[in-house]
Amino acid sequence: MEHYKHFLSCNVILLLLLLTLPAVVHGQGAVQQPPSPSPAPPVPLNFTFTDLRLAVVYPVIQAFKLTITSDPLGITASWAGPDICSYTGFYCDAPPDNLSATAIAAVDFNGYRLSAPTLGGFIDLLPDLALFHANSNNFSGTIPSGIARLPYLYELDISNNNLSGQFPSAVFEIAGLSFLDIRFNSFTGSVPPQVFSQYSLDALFINNNNFIMSLPSNLGSTPVLYLTLANNKFTGPIPRTIGNASSTLTEVLLLNNLLTGCLPYEIGLLKKATVFDVGNNLLTGQLPYSLACLESIEQLNFAGNYLYGEIFFKVPEALCGVESLANLSLSGNFFTRIGPTCWKLVKSGVLDLRKNCIYGIPDQRPYWECSRLLAHPKVCPNYWWHWHNYVPCKISHSPPLPPQNPAGKSRPGRPPSQQARPASVSVTYRALTNHHRL
């Protein structure tokens, strides 16, 4: 108990002195305080809180309530009285440092459509906060640097709001942060490379902002399972270090950026990847042989780039034989030929080759458009050609079997073991959907 009081003395008692008038805390009696300059209403004399920690955050919540400019669902109507644990959107639990105490452990405002000019003075003054979810509201301003002082925070979701400013670097000081979602806001500037070395992170969603920078060389140091950088303005080549994340990266979304250069063979080292999407960038060159080693891949998208070559030899043919593939998009490129294994995927609807230069297949580019680029293709660096043919695995895909279709149980021309199947539900693709916000 003495340790508990000492823990509160620096932060909690100070807040009470600054923000409250006399309050009755269960088992401790009334304490007289000077008038507070805070706009928060005073704590009524007859309020009894079950824990001092709840008494501390009461004025914080009430002050934040006064900043709410729109509450179409009437959420804040419940933010009254001493029973803070019953407030809509607030959840209590025992804090890690005192399992007999009661504190606000989580705030979940997802979809409440609340409007406020800032989260400062609120989220950063909830000292026991572990989860903060505020997806699909209309919160503005920047992320307060004080969140770095929240020792238990491990999930931060402020996506789909009106937040702005630079990347919230204060998150680097949150040792246990495992989930960071700031997508669909108006953050600008660069993303500090430290975010890719944040050892505690499992998921990083920063898509649909206005970040502009080259992908950092330490990209492959990321420990995350889900990496979503889509719909920004990231430039430059995909770092070769991406292969260093082979034991963790599961889904990677880099689509709709300004990435350039040739595809590094190290992409093929991502043996756990189920989704890899670099569609709609400025990538060029040929497909590296290592792509055939993506043994878990289900959705692979290179559409809308400047890739070229003949899809006839070892690399694409072996890639088309990867049994886990459910969707392979090479549309909107400049490929000129196709092999028999890939042709079977076209027939089954797995492989999309629209808007290429493969004549004899419907919906291709006009001849003049193909000849203009293929006459002067962009050349990859010398080191790239050295690794282009490198296959960092043993390819053991089954050879194609004769066409069969017994009672409609298999698709024509594809082995039973390679039948087209629906892809599993992707976590990262759902992150590209902007939730409705009024």
* Distance of alpha carbon 113 from alpha carbon 122, whole angstroms: 17
Displacement of CA 229 from its chain's centroid (Å): 7
Residue 142 CA to residue 367 CA, distance in Å, equals 51
8 Å CB contact between 269 and 245: no
* Span between the terminal Cα atoms of the chain, in Å: 47
Rounded CA-CA distance 300/276 in Å is 5
pLDDT of residue 20: 39
pLDDT at residue 423 in the model? 62
Write down the pTM of the prediction.
0.83
Distance (Å, whole) CA 208 – CA 339: 37
Contacts of 24 (CB under 8 A, 6+ apart): 30, 45, 46, 47, 48, 49
The order of strands in the sheet holding 23-25 is 29-31, 23-25, 48-49
C-alpha dihedral sign at 93, 135, 153, 25? negative
Q: Tell me: domain 71-388, CATH 3.80.10.10, correct? A: yes
Q: Choose among 330, 284, 323: nearest CA to 303.
A: 330
Q: What angle do CA 108, 113, 118 make, to 5 degrees?
A: 80
Looking at residue 347, its pLDDT comes to 93
pLDDT at 23: 39
Tens digit of pLDDT at every position of the chain (438 positions): 343 334 333 343 333 333 433 333 444 443 334 333 345 667 776 789 999 999 999 999 999 999 999 999 999 999 999 999 999 999 999 999 999 999 999 999 999 999 999 999 999 999 999 999 999 999 999 999 999 999 999 999 999 999 999 999 999 999 999 999 999 999 999 999 999 999 899 999 999 999 999 999 999 999 999 999 999 999 999 999 999 999 999 999 999 999 999 999 999 999 999 999 999 999 999 899 899 999 999 999 999 999 987 666 555 788 999 999 999 999 999 999 989 999 999 999 999 999 999 988 899 999 999 998 888 877 787 766 677 778 888 776 544 433 333 343 433 344 444 444 566 778 899 999 886 443
